[in-house]
Amino acid sequence: MRKGQTYEGVVQRIDFPNKGVVLCENETVIVKNVLPEQKISFMISKKRKGKVEGRLLEVIEKAPYELMEFCPHFGVCGGCSYQSVPYDKQLEIKENQVKRLLKPAFEKQMLLEGIEKDTNQYINNIFEGIKASPIQVNYRNKMEFSFGDEYKDGPLALGMHKRGSFYDIVSVRNCCIVDEDYRIVLACVLDYFAEKNSSYFHRIRHEGYLRHLLVRKAYKTGEMLIALVTTTQETHNLEPLVTRLLALPLSGKISGVIHTKNDSLADIVQSDETVILYGQDYFYEELLGLKFKISQFSFFQTNSLGAEVLYETAREFLGDISSEGACNKTVFDLYSGTGTITQLLAPVAKKVIGVEIVEEAVEAARQNAEINGLHNCEFIAGDVLKVIDEIDEKPDYIILDPPRDGIHPKALQKIIDFQVDRLVYISCKPTSLARDLEVLIDGGYRIERVVVVDQFPGTVHVETIVGLQRRDM
């Protein structure tokens, strides 16, 4: 097989996150944006160090299970790769992906414990399958839309990046992973600035005004926060836009409209200055009986109902610590975000200490604990790697919910050194989880339970929860 040549083949499986595996001419080729059982044509784009990658040219035959996609932007927008896949098949794909990724960790555990039996049978005794999202459409409670154009020098667009493109933007007026309020707000903002002939921030020239539109909405309370993100290269009166937004026929209620100014060259949503145009710069969501104050940059699971499944499962994995003497148990919630898990565990523990590097999230966590009347929570702002050396208390249990890249190796070793009886690891990227699990197993822990939780229907992403116990117990 040579670079630039075109071939045909059938996709055998999808490896996480979006890597189709095609066997062709006795070689394995990785092709993105495909589905199992599709017959495709592809061009070899890379071939080095024994790895062969291809670029999808055409789906010659659809997979037999594929449905008619229900979103008009599917295939053009880069968001929802699995939308044409029946939901039960999506769950099957994701479960198998995680199981394959964790297999080396299970094999290491079997070797260290001297277990000689069928590996798949051993895994199936521990791997408890996948839990579905309670809702599969209109589920996201946060969207960051980008301004741009759909093609060079085209009209103003507002939406998501076009599949495979860093620059082109697809106006997703009918996006199906958010509810109708998001679609109404997007259309309103896009039409307003199109009428004004406003400029967008050009990612190469670093010129222009409009950057992003951030919309957040609570599933339980219906409260909404709308943030317009621009540069300071132009000055505009935004009061007429606010008036239009407040007049929209929304099912939810706008709690605040804010203007965030960002002159960074990086294509990320951040704030140099934030001005409240209407209302307040936060809203409230409810989760498992607790109330949470959420601001523009607060971390909060993007699927509120799915988050309840996720956190209930994590709490179950930790075990009934209340029956083991709650007055004596201290729990560390590392990478705690706005303190959701911290507060869920507080009623059954002596103390729960959350550590999070984002200071705004820590301040929100403190406010949330106060709102919920929880006084045995402590939240510390800082890097887990450094902070855990400075905490006087020693944990009885530890919950880990790190960012996508997993846990810093030095921090992971410090976590192991605590030698707590039980650990619960929540991961949004199973490749990082697989790496960290092998280190934890080498450090004296064994995998007791694994559950996959689908927080992101229609997409390639998935959450995994692992319960670990000290091997010498």
Q: Where in the sequence numbering do the catalytic residues fall? A: 428
- The three-point CA angle 5-11-12 to 5° equals 130
Beta-sheet pairing, 351-356 with 19-24: unpaired
Give the integer Cα–Cα distance in Å for 29 and 303: 34
The dihedral built from the CA positions of residue 166, 172, 177 and 179, taken in this order, carries a sign that is positive
Strand segments, DSSP code E, in 359-472 are 377-381, 397-400, 422-427, 445-453, 463-470
Cα 400 versus chain centre, distance: 15
For helices 87-112 and 119-126, angle between their N-to-C axes, nearest 10 degrees? 110
Q: For residue 29, what are the contacts with CB-CB under 8 A and spacing of at least 6?
A: 1, 7, 9, 21, 22, 23, 42, 44, 52, 53, 54
Residue 440: C-alpha distances to residues 41, 105, 191, 335, 447 (Å) = 42, 9, 53, 17, 9
| The amino acid at 19 | K
Give the integer Cα–Cα distance in Å for 201 and 146: 10
| Dihedral angle computed from the Cα positions of residues 80, 81, 85 and 87, in that order, rounded to the nearest 10 degrees | -50
